[in-house]
Amino acid sequence: MRLAILLSGRGSNFVAIHQAIADGSLQAEIVCVISNQPDAPGLARARQLGLSAHLVNHRDYATRTAHEEEVLRILAQAEPDFICLAGYMRLLTPVFIAAWPHRILNIHPSLLPAFPGVDAQAQAIEYGVKVSGCTVHFVDENLDAGPIIVQRTVPVRDDDDADALAARILEQEHIAYVEALEKLRTRKWRIEGRRVIFS
Ligand code: GRF
């Protein structure tokens, strides 16, 4: 299973996927890492690891389309089976999504459809939910809305702030992304409406 990773920052989900491959719990290969941010720690880590690492800085392109075209060009060369968004802070256009139908995955730090968008952990605290978690899902043209592959839950404690909850969720994100990829690799799956059905 060939994986491309798109990131903009810390890159801990990317590192978790890389680690799972290194220790044999995920049979896959990271064929490219693309960052839109020059100073992303995840990009530096990818370079250290000797992976095919690319900076495609959106500030260097006149339009969103021009930036995406370069990302798509690199992806076409790398021929991934799946594109993993891992803290990639750019919205993808419908053209991009249509180029890779049901091949783009994202991870979001809430139990979707609750709390899409930014600051999901703070939204969860503010709302007062007692359980939150993370969601790995296929990307469609709506924000944080595509068919769900894996979810994992965590408790929300009364004394949590957004940072404490984010740290608890992040531990589960690292497990969930690997679990989702391994399920897609090893199981037969199909999409019916919004549902990802594994058989
Ligand atoms: C994670 O919380 C992920 O759910 C969200 O962005 C964050 C990325 O973290 N989409 P990292 O860069 O993988 O450490």
Top mutation candidate among 13, 19, 110 for ligand 1, by most atoms within 8 Å of CB = 13
Which residues of the chain, if any, have pLDDT below 70? none
Q: What is the pLDDT of residue 51?
A: 98
Q: Kindly state whether residues 33 and 73 are assigned to the same domain.
A: yes
50 is in which domain, residue-wise?
1-100
Nearest protein CA to atom 6 of ligand 1, as residue: 87
Q: Per the residue annotation, which of 54, 67, 108, 174 is the catalytic one?
A: 108
Question: Which residue shows structure tokens 């919004």?
Answer: 194
| Residues 55-71 pLDDT 10s | 999 999 999 999 999 99
Q: What is the pLDDT of residue 154?
A: 98
Q: What is the pLDDT of residue 15?
A: 98
Q: Kindly state whether residues 114 and 194 are assigned to the same domain.
A: yes
Q: Kindly state whether residues 2 and 17 are assigned to the same domain.
A: yes
Q: What is the pLDDT of residue 158?
A: 97
Q: What is the pLDDT of residue 48?
A: 98
Query: Could you say which of 85, 100, 115 is where a domain stops?
Result: 100
pTM of the model: 0.97
Report how far ligand 1's centroid is from the alpha carbon of 197 (Å). 25
Q: Helices 162-186 and 120-127 meet at what angle, rounded to 10?
A: 120
CATH no. for residue 50? 3.40.50.170
Q: Kindly state whether residues 95 and 112 are assigned to the same domain.
A: no
Query: Could you say which of 57, 81, 100 is where a domain stops?
Result: 100
Question: What token pair was written down for 171?
Answer: 């531990």
Question: What token pair was written down for 97?
Answer: 């999504």
Q: Kindly state whether residues 59 and 111 are assigned to the same domain.
A: no
The CA distance from 26 to 79, in Å, is 19
Q: Kindly state whether residues 126 and 179 are assigned to the same domain.
A: yes
Q: Where are the alpha helices (DSSP H) in 104-161?
A: 120-127
Q: Kindly state whether residues 78 and 126 are assigned to the same domain.
A: no
Query: Could you say which of 100, 116, 149 is where a domain stops?
Result: 100
Q: Kindly state whether residues 12 and 73 are assigned to the same domain.
A: yes
Q: Kindly state whether residues 118 and 168 are assigned to the same domain.
A: yes
- The 3-state DSSP class for residue 119 equals coil
Q: What is the pLDDT of residue 131?
A: 98
The CA distance from 89 to 86, in Å, is 9
Q: Kindly state whether residues 66 and 150 are assigned to the same domain.
A: no
As for how many domains the chain has, the answer is 2
> Assign residue 98 a region: left if phi > 0, alpha if psi is -120 to 50, beta otherwise?
alpha
Across 121-162, the runs of DSSP E, i.e. the strands, are 131-138, 148-155
C-beta atoms surrounding 60 within 10 Å: 12
The CA distance from 128 to 27, in Å, is 39
